Amino acid sequence: MKKGDIIIISAVAAAFVLSIVLLISFSKQGSRVVIKQDNKIIYNKSINANETVDTGTNTVVIKDGIVYMSDATCKNQVCVNTGKISKKGESIVCLPNKVIVEIE
């Protein structure tokens, strides 16, 4: 590897890290939570609602501007392990149960 290669790789890596940092820091706080099941909206309220929504297969907790899936009947539990979301455009998806939680 030559010196020029190292400089180019370093510059691309720095640009990548900078773009991720800027993307995270300028993401806007969401204002609404939309929960869909089987492509039908079953919940659409403020992110500050402080509620627990039971879809029959999944439990979604909305508390203090944070949303997370606390329980699901699916085997893989990817939706539960997604963690907490609060920014516009973030989502939690449970494919086996066809549940989507989106922040708008």
Number of domains in the chain: 2
- Distance between CA atoms of 66 and 48, rounded to whole angstroms? 8
% of the chain at pLDDT higher than 70: 96
Same-domain check for residues 37 and 7: no
What average pLDDT does the segment 12-35 reach?
84
Beta partners for residue 62, in sequence order: 51, 67
Same-domain check for residues 18 and 56: no
What average pLDDT does the segment 67-86 reach?
96
Same-domain check for residues 24 and 36: no
What average pLDDT does the structure give for the chain? Answer: 92
Domain of residue 20, residue span:
1-28
pLDDT at 24 over 70: no
- Distance between CA atoms of 90 and 25, rounded to whole angstroms? 14
With cut-offs at 50, 70 and 90, classify the pLDDT of residue 94: very high
Same-domain check for residues 47 and 63: yes
Q: Is the pTM of this model over 0.85?
A: no
What average pLDDT does the segment 3-31 reach?
83
Strands (E), the chain: 32-37, 40-46, 51-54, 58-63, 66-72, 91-94, 99-103
Same-domain check for residues 17 and 49: no
What average pLDDT does the segment 71-87 reach?
95
